[in-house]
Amino acid sequence: MREIHFQTIDSTNTYAKEHKNEFAKDEITCITADEQTSGKGRYQRTWVSPKDAGIYATFYFTLPKTTRQIGSIAQVMALSFAKVLLHLAFKPEIKWPNDVRLKGKKVSGILCEISDSSDFFEFFLGIGINVNMDEQAASQIDQPATSLFIESGIRWNKKELLKRVQDQFTKDLLLFKKEGFTPFHKQLDELLALKGEMVRFHDGANVWEGICHSLSSDGQLNLLLSDNTIQTLSSGDILK
Ligand code: BTN
């Protein structure tokens, strides 16, 4: 894996998109920063990225145009990170589609941007992880947030942690290339947050109410509605 590191940058995703022509097409390039001045989240949100408090990384790689279910790559990354956390004795859950949570609070978010303007798909897969962020900083975030430090009382070595994420994701991407989303489905479904709970879901146009039921075989969210039917949702967010 090729690595590019910055002390300060606006956003590692933005940098990756602007410099994509400089990156090899047959390996992963990982762009990281100690802080981001304009960290980006999903749906034009901001990702709070204070100096040294977290991991801010973008993985650039390509996949052939024939690849199916490219939209589930962010879920593969969420699972890669969740597996790293499980190994470190945390108990992660994944709020659909790809927020990693500890005790109901967000510890990591993923922003996957995809370009199809070449002969292959180009991925700008950004992950932000709250590592050594303290309570005071976490409370400034506009949704319930936590960090590995807050949950464990331990200050984590960001370099070692990033290496674990890189190694796990490299393995998982290889498996995705060979077998698609299927090998990831069961564990993602097992880690699905809010399972069995009544939730509200915003799909951009409508708000759905139902019980968070399961992950469909292709990574969509199954909601159980009050009329006992399953509504499968492919994009949007749980409002909780
Ligand atoms: C979200 O949960 O809304 C997604 C957050 C993604 C944040 C990461 S931090 C590294 C990369 N660079 C960015 O500007 N965003 C992603």
Residue 53 has pLDDT above 80, yes or no: yes
The token pair at 49 is: 């990225």
Q: Residue 240: what pLDDT?
A: 72
Closest ligand 1 atom to 41 CA: 3
Q: Residue 141: what pLDDT?
A: 94
Q: Residue 18: what pLDDT?
A: 98
Q: Which residue minimizes the CA distance to atom 7 of ligand 1?
A: 128
% the chain with pLDDT above 90: 98
Q: Does the beta carbon of 73 lie inside 6 Å of ligand 1? A: no
**C-alpha to C-alpha distance for 180 and 175, rounded to whole angstroms:** 7
Q: Does the beta carbon of 42 lie inside 6 Å of ligand 1? A: yes
Closest ligand 1 atom to 54 CA: 9
Each residue of 173-231: pLDDT tens digit?
999 999 999 999 999 999 999 999 999 999 989 999 999 999 999 999 999 999 999 99
Q: Does the beta carbon of 20 lie inside 6 Å of ligand 1? A: no
**C-alpha to C-alpha distance for 76 and 74, rounded to whole angstroms:** 5
Report, as an integer, the average pLDDT of 143-161: 98
**C-alpha to C-alpha distance for 185 and 183, rounded to whole angstroms:** 6
Q: Does the beta carbon of 110 lie inside 6 Å of ligand 1? A: yes
49, amino acid identity: S
For the full predicted model, state whether its pTM sits above 0.85.
Answer: yes
Q: Residue 89: what pLDDT?
A: 97
Is-contact 73 97, C-beta < 8 A?
no
Closest CA to 73 of 90, 83, 88, 61: 61
Each residue of 95-112: pLDDT tens digit?
999 999 999 999 999 999
Q: Which of 10, 52, 56 to mutate to test the pocket of ligand 1 (most atoms within 8 A of CB)?
A: 56
What 3-state class would DSSP assign to 32?
strand
What mean pLDDT is reported for the chain? Answer: 97
Q: Which residue minimizes the CA distance to atom 15 of ligand 1?
A: 40
What 3-state class would DSSP assign to 69?
coil
Residue 21 has pLDDT above 90, yes or no: yes
Residue 87 has pLDDT above 90, yes or no: yes
Q: Which residue minimizes the CA distance to atom 9 of ligand 1?
A: 128
